[in-house]
Amino acid sequence: MGERLGWRYAVLIPAVLAALSMIGPFSIDTPFPAFPELGRELGVGSEALQLIVTVYLGSFALMSVFHGPLSDAVGRRPVMACSIVVYVAASVGCALAGDLAVLLAFRALQGLSAGGATIVSRTVVRDLFDGAQAQRLMSRVAIIFGLAPAIGPILGGVLLQLGPWPLIFAFQAGLGVVLIAAVLLLLPETHPRERRVPLRVGAVLGGLVEVAREGAFHRLGWATALIFGAQFLYIGGAAVFVVDVLGQGELDFWKLFVPMIGAMMLGSWLCGRAAGRITARRLVSLGCTTSFAGGVVGVIVAATPAGDRMPWAVLGVSLIALGNGITYPTIQLMLLDRFPARRGAVVSLATFVALVLNAVTAVAVVPVIGGSALGFAVAALIGVGAGQLLWAWHCAVEDRDCAVSGEVGELEPVELL
């Protein structure tokens, strides 16, 4: 479809969708470099500052359940535009906050609203495209999406050189204004009225229940959540890992994020190149194995004296990220295609699962394992190992179902997606 409809669908719309998908992860770690300044100005310690991440993730997860189903009922553009308007207001509130309590309240509002862009933009991909083109577009979106965690702390550090910490949140507000204009002026409405579900509480919740009752959703959703969660240990705990474990400064977050996110972008690029050439199952298996190998390498390196030295300290997580880049776009399409009438609900519920896991990681896991590189590496290996087992389980169930029905397994290329 992209080639037939010209550059707007091949270039412009993918760029807008990628930018919309970035806003959620971008907002997580942009304030990281400002933590020392925030601690001094607000008179709080590092544990209290970690709430700036935790509150955002928790509220994002809470509202993520509803953004997708709402877009199934009222359309994609209204949900994205309205949510970004709220995000802009919340960002301004963060910039003007005079104490930690007020800052956390507006961070919660940021989290509640950011998912409207991040989640719904993924459903637009599948609304517009199918087959190998959908995978290629999802891969392009994932490449730009992957830039967000890398750009965030780097840009935050640059902004701190230009002004005080409120400038970071003022920049986020300005970004939101640009995205509102992009949604209203550049994106078509991809979910027509005749395909929408009723805007009723029962219909919205019914869609979520319909998705949650499907065993394949949990196997695929939790597999990708756990493997990405291994990478998120380092993202959510970057302030601890980079500064406390590696002994780096506030402008050194790039040493973690550039190789990690660069590897994820490379994986997404490989996923796009594989569209139509390699079966989805083989592609996901390759990505899961790569991430698991990264977990093993991370533990081995962390157990040596080089474990807290650059660049060796980020070798394992970079391999995990490479596997994530390969698997994530394909699994997203697998989930979307299982519920063509409930695409918003699928993405919402999958995002909720991942975010709850990430929030628990930030609150309960990072404080426990954050004292050493080995602690990070072991926790990451547990995550990728669990994700690998879930994917293997899903493949076994599919093989069994094919054998029972007498159908041949997935022999066609990824265009079946």
Residue 292: pLDDT over 90: yes
Cα angle value 94/97/103 (rounded, 5°): 60
Which H helix or E strand runs over 291?
helix 280-302
Residue 212: pLDDT over 80: no
CA–CA gap between residue 86 and residue 62 (Å, rounded)? 16
pTM: 0.70
Q: Which residues 6+ apart lie within 8 Å of 137 measured at CB? A: 2, 14, 17, 125, 128, 129
The candidate with the shortest Cα–Cα distance to 171, out of 183, 188, 156, is 156
Quickly list DSSP for 229-245.
HHHHHHHHTHIIIIIII
The candidate with the shortest Cα–Cα distance to 316, out of 253, 374, 238, is 374
Work out the burial of residue 48: count CB atoms within 10 Å of its CB; fewer than 13 is exposed, 13-18 middle, 19 or more buried. Answer: middle
pLDDT digits (tens, 9 = 90+) for 362-417: 677 777 776 788 888 898 999 999 999 999 998 888 888 777 765 544 434 333 33
- What is the pLDDT at residue 293? 94
Quickly list DSSP for 306-369.
GGGSTTGGGHHHHHHHHHHHHHHHHHHHHHHHH-TT-HHHHHHHHHHHHHHHHHHIIIIIHHHH
Greater confidence (143 vs 70) lies with: 70
Which single residue is written with the structure tokens 């609203």? Answer: 113
- What is the pLDDT at residue 171? 93
CA–CA gap between residue 129 and residue 10 (Å, rounded)? 11
Asked if 68 contacts 343 with a C-beta cutoff of 8 angstroms, the reply is yes
The candidate with the shortest Cα–Cα distance to 229, out of 61, 52, 38, is 61
Residue 87: pLDDT over 80: yes
Cβ-count burial 125-134 (b if 16+ within 10 Å, e if not): bbbbbbbbbb
- C-alpha 48: how far from chain center: 24
Q: Is the peptide bond before 149 cis (omega within 30 degrees of 0)?
A: no
- Length, in residues, of the chain: 417
Give the mean pLDDT of 65-86: 83
Quickly list DSSP for 211-222.
HHT-HHHHHHHH
* Structure tokens given for 400: 């069994």
Work out the burial of residue 299: count CB atoms within 10 Å of its CB; fewer than 13 is exposed, 13-18 middle, 19 or more buried. Answer: buried
The DSSP symbol for 188 reads P
CA–CA gap between residue 306 and residue 300 (Å, rounded)? 10
- The overall average pLDDT reported for the chain is 80
CA–CA gap between residue 37 and residue 17 (Å, rounded)? 34
* 3-class SS of residue 252: coil
Domains of the chain (ranges plus CATH)? Answer: 2-416 (1.20.1250.20)
pLDDT digits (tens, 9 = 90+) for 218-275: 888 888 889 888 888 887 777 778 877 888 876 777 788 888 888 888 888 788 777 7
- What is the pLDDT at residue 34? 85
